[in-house]
């Protein structure tokens, strides 16, 4: 099946904007999780689709733009999303697929410049100042990225091109979906000051309310308010920060960062649960899910933690550090189950449990000391066999027998 989706033809435009000095790119995948999930369901392209847990107590991971038009947003409770858009198709997340596509996209970025700062699976900053002589202007490089990502992965991205991280991120958001926007250095102040105050990095709901009480509705309003006034009203750090951004000043550099420090999964139950056997099965399922994502990301970890949320929303965590790093589902499950049993909860009613692996290291750098009595083939080999079967026949095709009872 072809992975390609419909992509509008490029729009004819006037003289291209001057991208001199605009060496910072912000690349943001368009509705990434939803777009990736639709690669296997081309019949749903152009329709409202929501990615997330099917139960009313789950949350929305992503949604297509057709669903967003009804007010559906990520992190929204699934029950509310269903009410807003009852005609939407609900698809379960496929984190292995998302990690695979994200890794490939990050490799595309790394082939252009070593200065890449990933913000999440689906967005990153790039500093292309060292690639201009080899690959052309920043706008040309941005278009190359868009074409490569679409041609190789079948999903679209939007790219902002500017002289700073702040402006580049604003630009990518304003040209979504499937767009490219260059903000010339000479036009930065005009570009920024036309926006509402909520567009500024660091302005949340409370800060926006404070600004509204001061009569500041646009970035231009902030720019033309004395910095001393902003400092008195918002505090020294926030006032100075917003005043600088209002004039397009952002001195931050693109900083290559390490991979995510932990990988995990949790589950909010449809109803509160007090059955220890049910919790054990859930911990096994979450351990399988977590380690599958770790192997897809080529990571192992030493610290296993669990999260338990009670019916009254009280939440506790417990962790245990292993001798050696692991990505083996049974080893993670054994540690998670021991942590849970050690809580002695008995008949406590639980709303959510989660499993997480921390202190991650790359799998090819992990040193594991085998025990003398280790079998020639063990759980690690079984996990990799399941990964291969899932890659060929679909996620969940092979599962522990105890999880069949849950389904």
Show which residues are catalytic: 123
Fill in the DSSP letter of residue 314: -
Q: How many CB atoms lie within 10 A of CB 381?
A: 12
Write the burial class of residue 8 (CB in 10 Å: 0-12 exposed, 13-18 middle, 19+ buried): exposed
If one counts every other C-beta atom within 10 angstroms of the C-beta of residue 221, the result is: 16
Q: In this structure, what token pair is assigned to residue 205?
A: 């709901």
Classify 313 as helix, strand or coil: coil
Taking phi over 0 as left and psi of -120 to 50 as alpha, with beta for the rest, 298 belongs to left
Give, for 234, the enclosing helix (H) or strand (E). helix 227-234
**Helix residue spans in 322-378 (DSSP H):** 329-341
Can you tell me whether residue 319 is helix, strand or coil? Answer: strand
Give me the DSSP letters along 126-171.
EE-TTTHHHH--HHHHHHHHHHHHHHHHS--EEEEEESSHHHHHHH
Cα distance between residue 28 and residue 165, in whole Å? 13
Annotated binding residue at 236? Answer: no
Tokens 């095709």: give the residue. 397
Q: Is 122 annotated as a binding residue?
A: yes
**Joined tokens for residue 4:** 């390609």
Q: Where are the alpha helices (DSSP H) in 85-137?
A: 95-112, 132-135
Given CA atoms 162, 164, 167, 173 in this order, what sign does their dihedral have? positive
Count CB-CB contacts under 10 A for residue 230.
23
**Beta pairing partners, 303:** 321, 358
Could you give the C-alpha distances from 283 to 113, 260, 311, 331, in angstroms and in order? 41, 22, 18, 12
Structure token digits, residue 262: 């932990």
Residues 210/187, Cβ–Cβ less than 8 Å:
no
Give dist(CA 52, CA 95) in Å, integer.
11
Q: How many other C-beta atoms are found inside a 10 Å radius of the C-beta of residue 237?
A: 10
- Known binding positions: 28, 122
Residues of the binding site for Mg(2+):
28, 122
């Amino acid at each position: 099946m072809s992975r390609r989706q419909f992509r509008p033809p490029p729009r004819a435009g006037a003289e291209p904007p001057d991208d001199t000095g605009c060496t910072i790119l912000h690349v943001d995948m368009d509705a990434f999780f939803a777009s990736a999930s639709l690669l296997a369901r081309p019949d749903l392209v152009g329709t409202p689709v929501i990615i997330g847990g099917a139960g009313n107590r789950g949350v929305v991971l992503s949604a297509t733009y057709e669903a967003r038009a009804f007010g559906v947003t990520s992190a929204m409770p699934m029950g509310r999303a269903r009410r807003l858009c009852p005609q939407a198709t609900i698809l379960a997340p496929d984190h292995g697929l998302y990690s695979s596509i994200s890794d490939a996209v990050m490799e595309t970025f790394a082939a252009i410049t070593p200065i890449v700062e990933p913000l999440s699976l689906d967005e990153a900053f790039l500093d292309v100042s060292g690639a201009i002589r080899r690959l052309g202007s920043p706008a040309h490089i941005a278009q190359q990225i868009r074409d490569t990502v679409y041609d190789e992965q079948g999903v679209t991205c939007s790219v902002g091109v500017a002289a700073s991280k702040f402006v580049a991120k604003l630009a990518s958001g304003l040209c979504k979906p499937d767009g490219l926007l260059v903000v010339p250095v000479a036009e930065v102040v005009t570009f920024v000051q036309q926006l509402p105050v909520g567009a500024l990095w660091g302005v949340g709901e409370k800060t926006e309310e404070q600004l509204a009480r001061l009569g500041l509705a646009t970035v231009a309003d902030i720019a033309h308010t004395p910095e001393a006034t902003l400092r008195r009203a918002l505090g020294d750090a926030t006032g100075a920060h917003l005043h600088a951004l209002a004039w397009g000043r952002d001195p931050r550099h693109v900083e290559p960062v390490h991979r995510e420090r932990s990988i995990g999964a949790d589950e909010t139950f449809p109803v509160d649960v007090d059955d220890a056997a049910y919790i054990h099965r859930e911990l096994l399922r979450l351990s399988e899910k977590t380690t599958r994502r770790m192997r897809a990301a080529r990571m192992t970890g030493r610290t296993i933690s669990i999260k338990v949320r009670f019916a009254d929303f009280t939440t506790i965590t417990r962790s245990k550090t292993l001798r050696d790093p692991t990505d083996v589902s049974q080893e993670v499950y054994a540690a998670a189950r021991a942590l849970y049993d050690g809580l002695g909860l008995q008949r406590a009613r639980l709303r959510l449990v989660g499993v997480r692996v921390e202190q991650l290291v790359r799998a090819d750098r992990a040193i594991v000391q085998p025990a003398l009595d280790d079998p020639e083939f063990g759980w690690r080999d079984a996990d990799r066999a399941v990964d291969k079967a899932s890659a060929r026949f679909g996620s969940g095709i092979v599962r522990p027998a105890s999880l069949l009872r849950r389904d």
